[in-house]
Chain A
Amino acid sequence: QVQLVQSGAEMKRPGASVKVSCKASGYIFTSYYIHWVRQAPGQGLEWMGIINPSGDSTTYAQKFRGRLSMTTDTSTSTAYMELSSLKSDDTAVYYCARAGLHNVADHWGQGTLVTAST
């Protein structure tokens, strides 16, 4: 079965960077794009961007350009999301999701809580 397993919770100081991993299994990694979506505490879902599995094509939401980087490692079927210059309002649960038919997020990781705080 399709599974996306994310790395564990992170606590960072404002101004630091965080890198979250998302290891895929149960399907051919190179056949599907990966979305990244975040959710601040008590808030709704926010789409951050999408990456093709070979890692050579990315589209980021405007608000994150300049401090968001998405990459992949096809040898381990893993996608990565790195967010730099963290601010307190970057505190959120970050999800990866497989982009299936019509680009819908058809399978999701369990989420990674990133806390940016002094």
Chain B
Amino acid sequence: DIQLTQSPSFLSASVGDRVKITCRASQDISSSLAWYQQKAGEAPKLLIYAASTLQSGVPSRFSGSGSRTDFTLTIGSLQPEDFATYYCQHLNSFPLTFGGGTKVEIK
């Protein structure tokens, strides 16, 4: 099975900060990676797929980059509504595992 390691697992930041979350795969997954945002008590929401394609309706301050084993989710200017937990997921082969999550909290 492919393992995904996210870092950091916890991040404290201020409104307006530029934030980067990384996701490392245990083997080459090409660009088969998605990012989700989950707020407390809610279902996850798709942000980015195919490593860098922004899902329709998602603000442009979110961006994704990377390929093969190393990926990054960047939030260009953190907004109050962005405080949440973020997960990566690979879609290369079954099982489609998730990373452990990164909780972004207000500094």
User: With an 8 A cutoff between CB atoms, is B46 at the interface?
Assistant: yes
B46-90 vs A, Cβ < 8 Å mask (1 yes, 0 no): 100110000100000000000000000000000000000001010
CA distance A44 to B3 in the complex (A): 14
A4-45 vs B, Cβ < 8 Å mask (1 yes, 0 no): 000000000000000000000000000000010100000011
Chain B facing A: main interface SS: loop
A111 and B87 contacting across the interface, CB-CB below 8 Å: no
The closest CB in chain A to the CB of B101 belongs to A44
CA distance A37 to B93 in the complex (A): 16
User: With an 8 A cutoff between CB atoms, is B106 at the interface?
Assistant: no
A104 and B87 contacting across the interface, CB-CB below 8 Å: no
B98 and A46 contacting across the interface, CB-CB below 8 Å: yes
CA distance A35 to B43 in the complex (A): 13
The closest CB in chain A to the CB of B44 belongs to A108
| Residue from A45, A102, A110 within 8 A of B87 (CB atoms) | A45
Contact residues of A with B, CB < 8 Å? 35, 37, 44-47, 50, 59, 61-62, 95, 97, 100-106, 108-111
